[in-house]
Structure 1
Amino acid sequence: MKVSSKNYYLILVLILMTGLLSGCTDSASKDIKIGMVYELTGNTASYGTSAADGAKLAFKEINANGGVLGKQIKIVTADNKGEPSESANAMTKLITQDRVIAVTGFTVSSCGIAGSAVAEDNKIPLVAAATVNPRVTVDEKTGKVKDYTFRACFIDSFQGTVSANFALNSLKKSNSAIMIDNSSDYSKGLAQIFKDVFTKGGGRVVAEEAYLQKDQDFKAILTKIKAQNPELIYLPGYYDDVGKIIKQARELGITAPILGGDAWDSPRLVELGGAQALNDTYFTNFYSVQDTNPASQAFVEAYKKEYGQPPDSMAAMGYDAVYLLVDAIKRANSEESAKIREALAATKDFKSVSGNMNLSSTHDAIRGVVIIEMKDGKQVYKETIKP
C-alpha cells in the first residue's frame, strides 16, 4: 500500500510526539527507585525477613513524611536466597534493568561481599545492613577501601575484640575451645579475631574444630571438645546451626558457657536449642529492644504497631541502613551516585536506633556492641560496650 508524502509526514510527527510525551512522563516521575536485597528464603531467611521488615517500615515513614528530594521512594525488592551467586545476580538486575539509584540490604557477609563487587563495578552506592566481615567494604586483594560500599553495622574486628575481652574479664575464663563454620566467611573471620585477642590477653585455646553449614550431627566434634575440658566454647555461627550445636552439647554433658556473635539473634534459636540448654550462653549484638534511649523506644513502638511484635536486631539494622542512605541522598541533594557516595563518606553523628554513630574511613559504622545473655529462653540485655 502506497503512503502519500502528506500522510507519511503526519505519521512521522505522531511518532515523534509520542516519544516526546513519553519522555516528559519519565522526567516528571514522582518516584526515586531504591533497591533492597535481602535473604528472604534459604537458611538465613530469618535474618533477611526481619531486616527487610525494618527497612520497609523506614521507607514507609520516609514516604509518609514527604519522601526525599520532593519525590516518593519506590522500593524494588530482590531475594538473594542467602547465596553469594544469587546476590550478584540480584544486584545486577536491580542496577542494569530496574535502574535503581542506590541499594540497601544484606545480612550475610558472603552475600554482602558478592553484592558489593557489583555495586563497585557499576558505581552505585550500597549501604549494607548487617554484614560484619571487613571484606565487605575493603578489597581483599588490594587493601583499598571500596568507593561505593558502606555499612550501618560494626565490623568483626570490634565485635571479636569485645567477645574476647568479655570472656577474659567478665566471664573470667582462662581457656576456650572454638567451633568454626568452615563454609562461612563470617564465622572464620570472627573466630580468628577472637583467638588473636583472647590469646594476647592471656587466654589459651585448647581446641579448634570445624563444621559446615547444614550439618546435622555435631556430636563427634563436641566429644573431642569435651575431652579438652574447656572453660568456655566460642561459637561464631548462624542460629540454624548454633541451636542444634548447643542442644547436642548439653546432651553430652558439656556445661561450659557458650559465647557467640550477632548471627545468633533469631527467634528460631530457642526453638532449635531449647530454653534450658541455652542458659549460660551469651552473644554480641547490634541492638537490644531493652535499650531505653528515645530513638530506640520510638522505633520499637512504630515496629510493634506495624507488625504486632517487637523488633529484633536485624530489623533495627535494616531500619538504620535505609535512614543512613536516605540521609545521604538528602545531604547530597541529588540522585547522582557520585554525590550520594560523597555524602555517605562524610556521615557524622547519624542518629541510629542505638544512639549517635559515625562512619569510619573504611565506611564502617562506629557504634556500640551490645552483650546479650540467654535466660530461660529470653534475651536479657547485659551491657553496651562503646568504641
Structure 2
Amino acid sequence: MLKKITFVILALAMTLPVLTSCGGGGGAQVIKIGLDIPMTGDIAYVGTQSKRAAEMRVAEVNDAGGLDVGGKKYTIELIIEDNESKAESATAAATKLITQGGVLAIVGPQSSKQAVPTGEVCNENETPMISPWSTNPNTTLNRPWVFRACFLDPFQGPVIANFVTNEFGFTKAAVLYDVASDYPKGLAENFRDAWEKLHGAGSVVAFESFTTGDTDFSAQLTKIKGTDAEVLFTPQYYNEVPLIVKQAHELGLTQVIVGSDSWGDPKTLELCGDACEGLFFSTHYAAEGATGATKEFIDAYEAKYGETPGDVAALTWDAMGILLQAIQNTGGLTGDLAKDRAAVKDALGQIKDYDGITGKMTFTPEGDPIKCAVIVQIKNGKFNFYDQACP
C-alpha cells in the first residue's frame, strides 16, 4: 500500500511541471524555456551576451501579450542555469532543467566543448535543444532532438581557406589551436584539410597546439616563425586571441593572422585593441552597416546595454526566435510535457526559410541550418563586413 501511495505522489509531482509549463488544467499559461549558458568561467562574457539577447526576446513577446499557440496566449518564462564554461557543469545544468525545471526546450550551450556532451543528454531525455553558437558537427550528429542556429565547421574551414587563398594568394599556412577544446580542435582540422586540398599535402607547414588555460604561446609562435608560413590561422576565443596576436607581434612574426567566428565578440576588440586592426575572420554576421531587422536588434541592444552585440548575442536572438516559431507551429500544446516536447522537436525539423538577423535558415534532417558565412575585417576598432560565402 505504501509503495502504491508513493508511486501516486511521484506521478503527481511529475505532472505539476506540465500543468504550469503548458497551461494544462487550470494552471497558469506559462511556457518554460531553459537557458544553459556560461555565466562564470573562461568565457563568462559569452553567457552575459546570451542572457541579454534571450531576455530581450522574451520581453518582446511577453510585452506584446504573450505567445499565441493554437489560439491561446502563453507567457514565456526563462530559466537560466550557469554551466561555468565546463562540459560537466553544462550536462548537469541540462539535466536539472529537464528533470526539475520542467522546461519545454533548452537554448544553449554555446561553446562546442559544452554543447557536444549536453546534446547527448538532451537527446537521451527527448528534450529539444538548440545551440546558437556551437559549430562542431558532433553537437547534432545522430541526435534528432538537437538543433543549432549557426553554420558548421566543415563549411567554415573551407570558407576561410578559400578567402585567404583568393585574397592574398598564399600557399603556406600555420595553425595554432587549443587541443583540449572541441571547437578549436575540430575547426583547426577542417581548415588544415581544406587548405591542403587547395595547395597540396604539407602546405600546412606548422600545426601547433596548446591546452585550455595556457597564456604563454611563445614556444609555439617561435616554431611558426621559423617556417615559411605566410598566414597563421587561430580559431580561439576572445580571452586568447589578444594574447596570441600581441605575443606574435612581440616575437616579430610577419604572417597575416586570421581567425574564425569565435573572434566575433566585443571583448576581442576591447582586449586586442590596435594589435588586431586590419585582421580578418569568418563569422555569422557583421554589425557595422547592418540594415533591417538586424539593425533594429543592434540598436535596441546598444540602447539597453551601451555596446554592440557580438555574434553570440545575435545567434541567441535567432535561436530563441526559431524555437518560439516552432512552438507556434505545433498548433497547440496539450499540457503533457513529453508530448509537447516531441511536437516542438518535430516542428523545429520542419522550419524552412526562417528569416533571422544572422541570415535565412532552413534546417537539414540533421538539425543544421543551411546558411551563409561572412568575412569580417577589424577596421577602426569595429567589425566591418568584407565578403560573404554561401553553400
- TM-score normalized by structure 2? 0.88
- For the pair 1:130 / 2:133, whether they are aligned, the reply is yes
Displacement of 1:279 in angstroms is 2.9
Deviations 1:185-221 (A, max 9, x none): 1011101111111111126111111111211211111
2:369 paired residue number: 365
Maintained 8 Å contact 2:133/2:312 = yes
CA contact (8 A) 2:288 2:383 kept: no
Q: Superposed, which structure 2 residues align to 1:218-367 within 5 Å? A: 218-275=217-274, 277-335=275-333, 336-367=340-371
Alignment of 1:120 with 2:123, yes or no, is yes
Corresponding residue for residue 200 of structure 1 = 197
Give the structure 2 partner of residue 16 of structure 1.
Answer: none
Contact 2:266–2:308 (CA under 8 A) maintained in structure 1: no
Quote the Cα distance in structure 2 between the aligned partners of 1:121 and 1:42.
27
What percentage of residue pairs aligned between the two structures are identical?
A: 36
Q: Distance in 2 between matches of 1:231 and 1:290?
A: 28
- Does structure 2 retain, via aligned residues, the 8 Å contact 1:295–1:353? yes
The CA deviation at 1:62 is 1.4
Tell me the equivalent position of 1:5. none
Letter of the 2:312 partner, please give it.
M
Q: Is the 8 A contact 2:174 2:231 kept in 1?
A: yes
Partner residue in 2 for 1:185: 182
Q: How many residues align?
A: 360
Which position in structure 1 is the counterpart of 2:3?
none
Q: Which moved more, 1:245-254 or 1:262-271?
A: 262-271
Using the alignment, how far apart are the partners of 1:152 and 1:163 within structure 2? 20
Measured against aligned partners, the alpha-carbon deviations of 1:87-113 in whole angstroms (never above 9, x if no partner) come to 011001111011111111221001111
Per the alignment, in what secondary structure is the counterpart of residue 110 of structure 2? coil
Superposed, which structure 2 residues align to 1:129-168 within 5 Å? 129-138=132-141, 145-168=142-165
Cα distance in 1 for partners of 2:91, 2:26 equals 29
Which SS does the other structure have where 2:239 is aligned?
helix
Deviation at 1:291, TM superposition (A): 4.7
Q: For residue 98 of structure 2, what is the aligned residue in structure 1?
A: 95
SS of the residue 1:240 aligns to: coil
- TM-score when scaled to structure 1? 0.89
SS, match of residue 212 in structure 2: coil
Contact 1:129–1:320 at 8 Å: present in 2 too? yes
CA distance in 1, matches of 2:373, 2:40: 28
Instruction: Give the equivalent residue in structure 2 for 1:76.
Output: 79
CA deviations over 1:157-191 (Å, ceiling 9, x no partner): 11111011011112221110111211111011101
Instruction: Give the aligned partner of residue 12 of structure 2.
Output: none
Aligned residue in 2 for 1:36: 35
CA distance in 2, matches of 1:101, 1:211: 39
Any idea what SS the aligned residue of 2:386 has?
Answer: strand
Q: Unaligned stretches of 5+ in structure 1?
A: 1-19, 139-144
Cα distance, 1:43 vs. partner? 0.8
Residue 286 of structure 1, CA deviation: 1.0
Query: In the aligned structure 1, how far is the partner of 2:179 from the partner of 2:24?
Result: 52
SS of corresponding position for 2:155? helix
| Unmatched 5+ stretches in structure 2 | 1-15, 334-339
- Any idea what SS the aligned residue of 2:348 has? helix
